[in-house]
Structure 1
Amino acid sequence: MELQQQIDDFIARKITPLDGKFRFGQGVEPITWEAIRQLPKTGEAIIQWYFTSEEIIAFIVTRDAEQPQVVRVGGLEALEQLATAYKDHYIQCCDNDNLEPWKEQLTPRLQRLGEILHLEEIISHLPKDCKGLILVPYRYLHLFPLHALPLGEDNYLIDAYSQGIRYVPSCQIWQISKQFDSGEGNLEGLFALQNPTGDLRNADMEVEIIQGAFNRAVVLPREQATKSALTEKAVELASARVAHFACHGYFNFDDPRTSGLVLADAEVSAVPPEVPPEVPPEVPRKSLISMCSPIPSVMAGRGIILYGNMGMRF
Structure 2
Amino acid sequence: MPGEPSAVLAEFLVTERATVLQIVRGDLDQPAVETIPLGREELRRLVRDTLAVAGPTSRFRARDPSAWTEPLSMLIEPVTRHSAPGDVVWLVPHDVLHHVPMHALDTGAGPLIGRNPVCYSPSASVMRYCRTKSRPGRRQVLVYADSRPEAPLVHAHGQVSELTRLYAGRVTARGQAAATIGALTGDLREHPGGVGVLHLACHGYFTGDDPLRSGLLLAPGPDDDGLLTVERIMGMRLPTELITLSACESGISERHAGDELIGLTRALIYAGAASVVVSLWAVDDLSTSMFMGYFYGALAGGAPRAQALRTAQLLLRGTTRGDVVEHCRRSLAATGEDPSGQRRALLRGLADAHFAAGDFAAALAGYRELAGDGVPPGPRLLTATARARAALRHATPAPPDYDVPAFGHPYYWAPFVLVGDWR
Task: Give the TM-score range, shorter chain.
Answer: 0.5 to 0.7
Q: Share of identical aligned residues, percent?
A: 20
Deviation at 1:219, TM superposition (A): 2.2
The question of whether the paired residues in 1 share the 8 Å contact of 2:53 and 2:99 is answered with: no
Task: Name the residue aligned to 1:103.
Answer: 61
Q: Which amino acid aligns with 2:271?
A: G
- The equivalent of 1:120 in structure 2 is 77
Distance 1:159 1:55, change over 3 A: same
In the alignment, which residue of structure 1 is the partner of 2:348? none
Q: TM-score, normalised by structure 2?
A: 0.50
State the 1:157 CA deviation.
Answer: 1.0
Query: Within 2, Cα distance between the matches of 1:83 and 1:111?
Result: 10
Give me the CA root mean square deviation: 3.9
Deviation at 1:307, TM superposition (A): 1.7
Relative to structure 1, is the Cα distance of residues 259 and 67 closer, same or farther in structure 2, using a 3 angstrom cutoff?
closer
Task: Report deviation, 1:63.
Answer: 1.9
Within the candidate set 261, 267, 271, 1:301 is matched to 271
Whole-angstrom distance in 2 between the partners of 1:106 and 1:265: 41
| Runs of 5+ consecutive residues of structure 2 not aligned to the other structure | 148-152, 252-262, 282-414
8 A contact 1:192–1:244 mirrored in 2 = yes
Residue 262 of structure 1: how far off its partner (Å) = 4.7
Offset, 1:211: 4.2
- The Cα offsets for residues 41-73 of structure 1, whole Å up to 9 and x where unpaired, read as 443322221223432122222222222222212
For residue 64 of structure 1, give the secondary structure of its aligned residue in structure 2: coil
Where 1:192 maps in the other structure, the secondary structure is: strand
Instruction: Measure the CA separation in 2 of the matches of 1:189 and 1:43.
Output: 29
Change (3 A) 1:209 1:173: farther
Equivalent pairs counted in the alignment come to: 254
Counterpart CA distance in 1 for 2:63 and 2:157 is: 22
Structure 1: any 5+ residue segments left out of the alignment? 1-37, 94-98, 275-279
Provide the C-alpha distance between the structure 2 equivalents of 1:106 and 1:301, rounded to a whole number of angstroms. 39
Following TM superposition, by how much is the alpha carbon of 1:236 offset from its aligned partner in structure 2, in angstroms? Answer: 0.9
Aligned counterpart for 1:218 among listed residues 163, 166, 172: 172
Q: Which has the higher contact order (CA 8 A, sep 6+)?
A: 2
3-state SS of the aligned residue for 1:270? strand
Distance 1:75 1:248 in 2: 34
| Of 117, 124, 127, the match for 1:174 | 127
Letter of the aligned partner of 2:31 in structure 1? Answer: P
Deviation, 1:254, is 4.6
Structure 1 residue 202: Cα displacement: 7.0
Quick one: which amino acid aligns to residue 305 of structure 1? V
Please say if residues 192 and 218 of structure 1, whose CA atoms lie closer than 8 Å, have aligned partners that are also in contact: yes
Contact 1:45 1:126 in 2 (8 A): yes
- Aligned residue among 206, 213, 218 for 1:251: 206
Deviation at 1:247, TM superposition (A): 2.9
Deviations 1:100-122 (A, max 9, x none): 112323713431453452x3343
> What residue is the counterpart of 2:42 in the other structure?
78
For 2:132, give the aligned amino acid.
Q
Q: In 2, distance between residues paired with 1:78 and 1:305?
A: 30
Give the Cα–Cα distance (whole angstroms) in 2 for the partners of residues 230 and 178 of structure 1: 27
Contact 1:288 1:306 in 2 (8 A): yes
Q: 1:120 to 1:228 in 2, by over 3 A?
A: closer
Aligned match for 1:134, one of 90, 93, 112 = 90
Q: Which residue of 1 aligns with 2:29?
A: 66
Q: In structure 1, how many angstroms separate the alpha carbons of the residues matched to 2:216 and 2:95?
A: 26
Q: Which moved more, 1:138-147 or 1:299-308?
A: 299-308
User: Could you tell me the TM-score, scaled by structure 1's length?
Assistant: 0.64
Rounded Cα–Cα distance in structure 1 between residues aligned with 2:230 and 2:119 = 30
Task: Quote the residue 2:7 is aligned against.
Answer: 44
Quote how far apart the aligned CAs of 1:137 are: 1.1
Shift of 1:228: 6.0
Distance in 2 separating the partners of 1:313 and 1:166: 5
Report the Cα distance in structure 2 between the residues aligned to 1:201 and 1:146, rounded to whole angstroms: 30
Shift of 1:143: 0.8
Distance 1:148 1:235, change over 3 A: same
Matched, 1:55 2:26: no
